[in-house]
Structure 1
Amino acid sequence: MNKFFTPPSPLIDRFGRQVNYVRLSVTDRCDLRCVYCMSENMTFLPREQVLSLEEIGRIASVFVSLGVEKIRLTGGEPLVRRDLLDLIGHIGQLGLQDFAMTTNGTQLSHFAGSLKAAGLKRLNISLDSLDPAKFRRITRNGDLDKVLEGIEAARAVGFEGIKLNAVIMRGRNDDEVLDLIELVRRLELDISFIEEMPLGVISEHNRHETYCSSDDVQQIIEQHYALQPASMKTGGPSRYFKMADSLSRVGFISPHSHNFCSECNRVRVTAEGRLLLCLGNEHSVDLRAILRRYPRDNTPLREAIIDAIELKPEQHHFTTDGDVQILRFMSSSGG
């Protein structure tokens, strides 16, 4: 055999898309109750239904053996999971091109250094408002100062990349788009503005009324700063732009207005071990049952993942009229 021959990846779906990015949820629990993410009175999974850290580590190892190059840990809030650093240390040794975590930032002031030392390369930090009262309303119980302290702690330890994520809702925080831009310019961070996704039934607000498109957000920014398309690729769904006088990059995640399904390269594993082939569809495979049926043999797990890629749908079908087709909340979907 030609020593330069590279066998094709087994994780190519029916539409020619190669899956090389996995988001692993380590918990469905969170210390915040963001209005677009979950109900105020959530019912969380019984602990025996949640994957152990060892089981999540097995899944990560098998995905890497199948050609996955990027893993992101999600939740809920990952940092509420006890002994998470053990899992990060394991995944950090798998030779990934990119290893990231999405966090709400409330506990970063305590964990930033340990996360970096364990092998985590990048952080995505959720921040939807810079107004303490508004931040508390959106998160229902959040302390903005804790998140800002966490951001500073993360900057201090020198992660390869730090990006802020902001879900923009009309009439709620769309008046803060420029404030968030000024923050990332000052701190030399990146930011992604996200259209709210219609996952889970919520009563706190009407999603149709609060829908704010990426085009609307971009128009707000371009009243003050010209945005030029950037060549940056992170393996995720963001479309990135740059500003001529700043190192910060501005991304837009637009599941409604700019469907990114044709380039989708990712799958998710929920905290209970469901392999979700698409955020906006219910196609899934129960990996937990396989893990627990074969605790010492990864071959069935590997075969199940390869077979599951055939179920990956061509696209999601999100709507902006308030209709909810997916009943699971974002916190249960894995970030």
Structure 2
Amino acid sequence: MNAPTSTPVLLDGHGRRIDYLRLSVTDRCDLRCSYCMPKGFKGFEEPANWLTFDEIERVVAAFARLGVRRLRLTGGEPLLRRDLPLLAARLGALPGVDDLSLSTNATRLDRHAAALRAAGVRRINVSLDSLQAERIAAIAGRDVLGEVLAGLDAACAQGFAPIKLNMVVQAGVNDDEIEAMVAFCIERGFILRLIETMPVGDSGRASRHVDLQQVIAALAQRFDLAPSARELGGGPARYWQSRDGGFTLGAITPISQHFCATCNRVRLSVDGTLYLCLGQDDKLELRPLLRGGIDDAGLEAALRQAIERKPERHEFREKPGKIVRFMSATGG
């Protein structure tokens, strides 16, 4: 991956620098996590409406020319997109892209870890809400614990670093398992990130929200954690590290302590919709522009204009029923 000779800056209307694009390569998933996708949902985008690899590369290249240097591949489950490592290699080679990462449920990671590493992906986030097979089945729709653990083993063998485990905490579902997950991450050298559920779609609103502030305070005391300023990917998580350096805890708290003032990211869905805020409906439809013959200068101008109207903040607390789309359709 190559850095540009000069660093352009993409600012929104509130003075925030936007340097991070989360790119959904598919809206499909092989799991049905209760907080993400409605049970029995079948309304996926038709592949004809997906951005092609060439279209994705054009958009990412335009963002990179405007100063976006961090790129995360998401879904749905991104490893369901055929030839994903080939796309990753193309995107990672673009001038300006200097951080290429992946979010995955890891059910297929053991098959793709080597190719992803060779393509330039260096960091991965793995969704893992429990270490108990029956709980995984209840949350995700089927027991895939063995597949996820095999994927983590493959990621370790390929040298991905850091490896972060994302645990969405739900009251009465898995909140009694947090310390077990901490112990697992200490043993394996993983970073644990606890995530509050968000009221995105009916599935998100039906989840059992846990305010993580007290959880974090208890863990900080139990494991001798201190706030950390360490750079770990440029996302919204706040981090704490044990004083011996053996464990790092992250927390993503959009409800109890939102991070909108420092938001640096936008999301591009597989159908070419650029979502400017996870908790608002502001968006730019890029697919009609791309297939209508827009040139690179026009594309960059459209992106700049969209970023200028990025909302200041979400309204998850004030208007929890506002967002009707669900997470897997938005992009993780």
* TM-score, structure 2 as length reference: 0.94
Q: Which residue of 2 aligns with 1:326?
A: 323
Asked whether the equivalents of residues 256 and 320 of structure 1 are also in contact (C-alpha less than 8 Å), the reply is no
Q: Which residue of 2 aligns with 1:300?
A: 298
Q: Which residue of 2 aligns with 1:202?
A: 203
**CA drift at 1:247:** 2.9
Q: Deviations over 1:234-261 (max 9, x none)?
A: 2110000001234331100000011100
2:166 is equivalent to residue 169 of structure 1: no
Q: Which residue of 1 aligns with 2:230?
A: 232
**CA drift at 1:76:** 0.1
Q: Deviations over 1:143-185 (max 9, x none)?
A: 1010011001001100132111010001000011001101110
% identity of equivalent residues: 42
**CA drift at 1:92:** 1.4
**Amino acid of the residue matched to residue 213 of structure 1?**
D
Asked whether the equivalents of residues 53 and 84 of structure 1 are also in contact (C-alpha less than 8 Å), the reply is no
Within 1, Cα distance between the matches of 2:313 and 2:274? 16
Q: Which residue of 2 aligns with 1:243?
A: 242
**Amino acid of the residue matched to residue 82 of structure 1?**
R
Asked whether the equivalents of residues 211 and 320 of structure 1 are also in contact (C-alpha less than 8 Å), the reply is no
Aligned residue for 1:229, secondary structure, equals: strand
**Amino acid of the residue matched to residue 83 of structure 2?**
D
| Structure 2 portions without partners, runs of 5+ | none
* TM-score, structure 1 as length reference: 0.93
**Amino acid of the residue matched to residue 112 of structure 1?**
A
Asked whether the equivalents of residues 174 and 217 of structure 1 are also in contact (C-alpha less than 8 Å), the reply is no
Q: Which moved more, 1:216-225 or 1:45-54?
A: 216-225
Q: Which residue of 1 aligns with 2:260?
A: 261
| Structure 1 portions without partners, runs of 5+ | none
Q: Deviations over 1:275-300 (max 9, x none)?
A: 111000000000111111117x3222
2:11 is equivalent to residue 12 of structure 1: yes
Q: Which residue of 2 aligns with 1:47?
A: 47
Aligned residue for 2:201, secondary structure, equals: coil
Asked whether the equivalents of residues 23 and 72 of structure 1 are also in contact (C-alpha less than 8 Å), the reply is yes
Asked whether the equivalents of residues 294 and 300 of structure 1 are also in contact (C-alpha less than 8 Å), the reply is no
Q: Which residue of 2 aligns with 1:98?
A: 99
**CA drift at 1:220:** 4.1
**CA drift at 1:78:** 0.2
**CA drift at 1:98:** 1.3
Aligned residue for 1:202, secondary structure, equals: helix
> RMSD in angstroms over aligned alpha carbons?
1.8
Aligned residue for 1:201, secondary structure, equals: helix
**Amino acid of the residue matched to residue 203 of structure 2?**
I
